[in-house]
Structure formats: C-alpha cells, structure tokens
Amino acid sequence: MASILQHAFYQQCATDVAPNLLGAVLVRDFEGQRVSGMIVETEAYTGQADAASHAYRGRTKRNQPMWEAPGHAYVYLNYGVHWMLNVVCEPVGQPAAVLIRAIEPVEGLDIIRHNRVGRRRQQWASGPGRLTLALQIDQHHNQLDLTKKTSGLWIEQGHTIPSDQIKQGPRIGLGKRVSTEWINKPWRWWIDGNPHVSR
DNA sequence: ACGGAGATCTTCT
DNA sequence: GAAGATCTCCGTT
C-alpha cells in the first residue's frame, strides 16, 4: 500500500510542491474501486503577489479555498465549462496552490474510458479539464482535505522522477492582463517525453 | 494539420 | 460587457 501524502508535504512553497508532485498518484475512490493516474504535469501559483493567481485580487467566494490549510483542494469552474483541480500549499502563510494539469491513467481504465468515451487514450487526462472529466472531479471535491481517504480523493507517493527527466517552462493560458514578469516565470513542470502531458 | 468559434460561470471594469 | 489557469467541434488546407 502506497502512503498518502500528508500535510507536511504540502507545507512548502508551491514552486517546491509542484515538481515534487510529478510521479505521485492521484487516486479517486468510486465506492471502493480505485481510479487513478500518475501526475505528469503541474503548475505553481504562488502567493498574493502572483499576478497570474486567482488570489492576486484578494479573497472572493470562488478562491476562498486557497486560504485553507495545505493539502486541501481548490476546485473551480473555468470558462463556465471545465473543472480545475488545485492543491493548496503554504508559502509563508500566503494563499497558494498547485494546478494539476495532466495525469497518466493507471487504474480503473474501464471507468476512465467510459468517462472519456470516443477519445483516444492519450487524450483521456492530458489537460486540466480532461483529467477532472476522467476522474469525475467537480464542485463536490472543492475544499476537501486530500490527505484523508474519506474525501474520496487523495494523492499517494508514487514514482521518484529523476531530475533530468523533469522539464520546466512558463505557465500556460495566462491572459494579456498579466505582466510579462509573471508570465515568464518558469512555474510549469512536466515529465519529459511523457505522452500524457498537455499540448 | 490547423484555425476559429462556441460553450456558459465567476469576477472585474 | 468582457475576459478567463480550456476543450471540442467543424470548417478549410
């Protein structure tokens, strides 16, 4: 049995947590059946100073979970269509989180195939909106504690990825309103060559 | 293979 | 009223 990542793991800067999450396994419990995938791509959103973060303009009803304790989920609807899964981190008491951008399906492939009917396997969970569809993650998971199995969603220790297989680059999809200083931060990490990384 | 538009919720101007 | 941490479909090459 792999161990579940505990609060201490998330109790550091999002820029440390994000690369450390690569190789870990995101697990969804479907009435006893495990549906899971290895995390292959993440993005860090740091404290309130980060112009690309939802926390930048202060607290709102939506981003409120970012002020929760580390290890909690921040799930929100983007473009009115896609659910995004974040894990809250704790850089010096600031609201910060890591966006899980892509996973490689590992367990419960029948369920994932059903959730992503008609799509090629490589597209089952290769994107933040896709992985939430694959694992059926939505508003019900917002603010849950991901260090507890009772949440039905947690993250387990997985493979250790050699540092030479970890690539790093600018975050994706940030708007023009964000200054280049923040757009250029290389705060997206992924496993080099993994086919389930988003494009 | 590639580009544009639609979907449709929350927040900000 | 517009834009956003996106994805899919449908048009044209």
Strand B: positions under 7 A of a protein C-beta atom:
7-13
DSSP A101: E
What 3-state DSSP class applies to A171? coil
pTM above 0.85, yes or no: yes
**A window 116-155: Cβ near strand B (< 7 A):** none
**Per-residue pLDDT tens over the stretch A105-120:** 999 999 999 999 999 9
Q: Give residue A177's pLDDT band: very low, low, confident or very high (50, 70, 90).
A: confident
Nearest to A18 by CA among A183, A186, A152, A153: A186
Nearest DNA or RNA nucleotide to A82 (CA to C1')? C6
As a whole-number percent, the residues of chain A with pLDDT over 70 amount to 100
**Per-residue pLDDT tens over the stretch A22-50:** 999 999 999 999 999 999 999 999 999 99
Side-chain half-sphere CA neighbours of A183 within 13 A: 8
- Establish whether the CB of A42 is closer than 7 Å to any nucleic acid atom in strand C: no
State the pLDDT at residue A90.
87
A78/C2 CA-to-C1' distance in Å: 15
**Per-residue pLDDT tens over the stretch A125-160:** 999 999 999 999 999 999 999 999 999 999 999 999
Nearest DNA or RNA nucleotide to A77 (CA to C1')? B9
Nearest DNA or RNA nucleotide to A129 (CA to C1')? C6
**Per-residue pLDDT tens over the stretch A53-99:** 999 999 999 999 999 999 999 999 999 999 999 999 987 778 999 99
Measure the CA–CA gap between A58 and A100, rounded to whole angstroms: 22
